[in-house]
Structure 1
């Protein structure tokens, strides 16, 4: 099965909204507006060239699809799932126990998604949101049938585009952007302490893994979305640049296809894929019912790869992409690439 990914996926997470928040000419003064702010507010954020001022925590959040789970997973990790009135994001699985089920239980607002598998303009406006989140600015592009940031501002809704999503080019994304997303949400919802604890814990785990694999040989890894068609060649969903490269580096590996494209994804023929040395295979599952079968198929298709000879493959979903759980991807990939290191470490602890 070939899954056509929405254009937003070239992976691919604001404004002064209500007149009272800005001290507009027909509203109370800025000083009066400040008087009605909730404790911990006002909070001001710069986001994709816009300045947004929040006078209270959003209570009606719409999460656009964007072929991501970064935003919805971050909200859940911060304990903010009850603020969501419509969520369009899902990967169907997660490295975090219970997360996929939690996402499945979230309200969808009864929305019929458009041809880009996302929330169309009239539907999002009809939900009366006070915050709409999108992984990239694609989710606010009128040409694709979405409500613009200006449209939403006009009805009193804040908007937020996740880090590195302003120009729809996710090739520069790193783990720090996942942490920035958490930190921004911590500010918006006045849960900064929760956000900082999650960030600190993630960094500790990542630093611990990186220290263990420091000095080890760096295997070449292929990262590819399962059953995903995004171009004209046989292999059009190979990750070339983006957050996965940072994850691989922290895990003691490197992307075998980083030189194949300057953008986030490489679109390659079977012959070019076969010519690369692939020491390990990481398949990213995006709503695929059996990504493990896809991994086995690739290893059988390219028996010359060291990955095939050593049966070295791994299936991941949300942890390798923008979101709150990159530490899990770093740990799992490091264990795949450097099993001896972790066997020694386990023996040392047991001893």
Structure 2
């Protein structure tokens, strides 16, 4: 049997058309491409990342909560800040820490990363060497932590929705949308159920977040996650009017605004107890209500930053606010 050149070309054309159609159908069936909003950018994914890297303990826990370990090649920015939580080590199994603090482009390239989950001041700095713009030519796509977007754009005041949005977007990026939606729905239900059981407070407690620093305190302003946690627990951040995220301020406004409760963020070289002792031993703070009455509540770093521990953090704060009110 013989075939004409024309018939062979026709067969090849038809086969190619069928293959393209099949590939398009498969892509559509898998849910790709997907486009998500990341701060002021839209990022499109043609497939789920296969070599993801997360920065910081809270962002890594978001990945673990969604069961994305098999899509990861490592994490960064945990041991250098001493924020490791024992349960994280169990969750990440054999995944390596690629860099103790912020990674360089070379670190990410060395891991053959195709995705970087980080945030502004959570693994990236404005004008730094590792940003969505510097990583794009290397084939590494970036999704930015929503809470951190305030560093490069205007955004609404921080809320629990910032964390929920990140989980849902990660669900879309990695094609585990149903899993992400179930997780978020569970968090929302757990929080609503807990809040419904709370005894109403006679007075809204004034709360100060003490992260670190002796000459000037590093604290959480209007756009940092503790503000949302404090409000969900029934309190008010005394520096809610500071139009920043995590930031440094002076001690004068802290003394003048006289917090009823001080939240200590525990991580790093200085322990929570050492921070409390500093506040209690300094005569300048002796008239602060929280110091006089020993009204301190300790949150681990991973609880105070956006991530799966936020609901437990709210419960801890709510209990402390009510104990302090009694």
Whether these two folds match at TM > 0.5 is yes
Partner of 1:205: 190
- For residues 221 and 40 of structure 2, the distance between their equivalents in structure 1, rounded to whole angstroms, comes to 28
Q: Work out whether 1:316 is the aligned partner of 2:299.
A: yes
In structure 2, the residue matched to 1:71 is: 59
CA contact (8 A) 1:179 1:324 kept: no
Aligned to 1:157: 140
Could you tell me how far apart the structure 1 residues matched to 2:167 and 2:151 are? 20
Residues 137, 313 of structure 1: alpha-carbon distance in 2 compared, 3 angstrom cutoff: closer
CA–CA distance in 1 between the matches of 2:267 and 2:310?
16
SS in 2 for 1:154: helix
SS of 1:258's equivalent in the other structure is coil
Q: Would you say the 8 A contact 1:256–1:276 is kept in 2?
A: yes
Which residue number corresponds to residue 43 of structure 2?
52
- Structure 1, gaps ≥5 residues long: 1-28, 344-351
Classify 1:48/1:252 alpha carbon distance in 2 versus 1 (closer, same or farther; 3 Å): closer
Matching residue within 205, 208, 223 for 1:222: 208
Aligned twin of 1:251: 233
Q: Which has the higher contact order (CA 8 A, sep 6+)?
A: 1
How many matched pairs?
299
In 2, the alpha carbon distance for the partners of 1:272 and 1:210 equals 30
Say if 2:96 is the partner of 1:107: yes
CA-CA distance at 1:34 after TM superposition = 2.7
Larger Rg: 2
Q: Residues of 2 paired with 1:40 and 1:292: CA distance? A: 51
SS of match in other structure, 2:148: coil
1:280: Cα distance to partner? 0.9
Structure 2: tracts of 5 or more residues without a match: 1-18
- 2:323 pairs with one of 333, 339, 348: 339
TM-score w.r.t. structure 2 length? 0.78
Superposed displacement of residue 187, structure 1 = 1.1
Q: Answer yes or no: is the 8 Å Cα contact 1:280–1:337 preserved in 2.
A: yes
Pairwise CA distance, 1:141? 6.1
Corresponding residue for 2:53?
62
Change (3 A) 1:104 1:246: same
State the distance in 1 between where 2:178 and 2:250 align: 48
Change (3 A) 1:340 1:236: closer
> Which residue pairs with 1:282 in the alignment?
263
Any conservation in 1 of the 2:295–2:324 contact (CA below 8 Å)?
no
Deviation (angstroms), 1:339: 2.4
Alignment RMSD? 3.3
By how many angstroms is 1:101 displaced? Answer: 5.3
Native 8 Å contact 2:77 2:123 kept in 1: no
The structure whose residues are more often helix, as a share, is 2
Give me the TM-score of the superposition, normalised by structure 1: 0.73
Cα distance in 2 between the residues matched to 1:164 and 1:99 = 21
Q: Which residue of 1 aligns with 2:3?
A: none
Deviations 1:138-190 (A, max 9, x none): 856684222x4344333433221121434526883221010111111111112
In the alignment, what sits opposite 2:73? Answer: 85
Q: Secondary structure at the match of 1:311?
A: coil
Q: 2:216 aligns with which of 223, 227, 235?
A: 235
Distance 1:172 1:328, change over 3 A: same
Provide the rounded CA distance (Å) in 1 between the counterparts of 2:207 and 2:22.
Answer: 57
1:37 aligned onto 2:21: no
Within 1, Cα distance between the matches of 2:213 and 2:288? Answer: 21
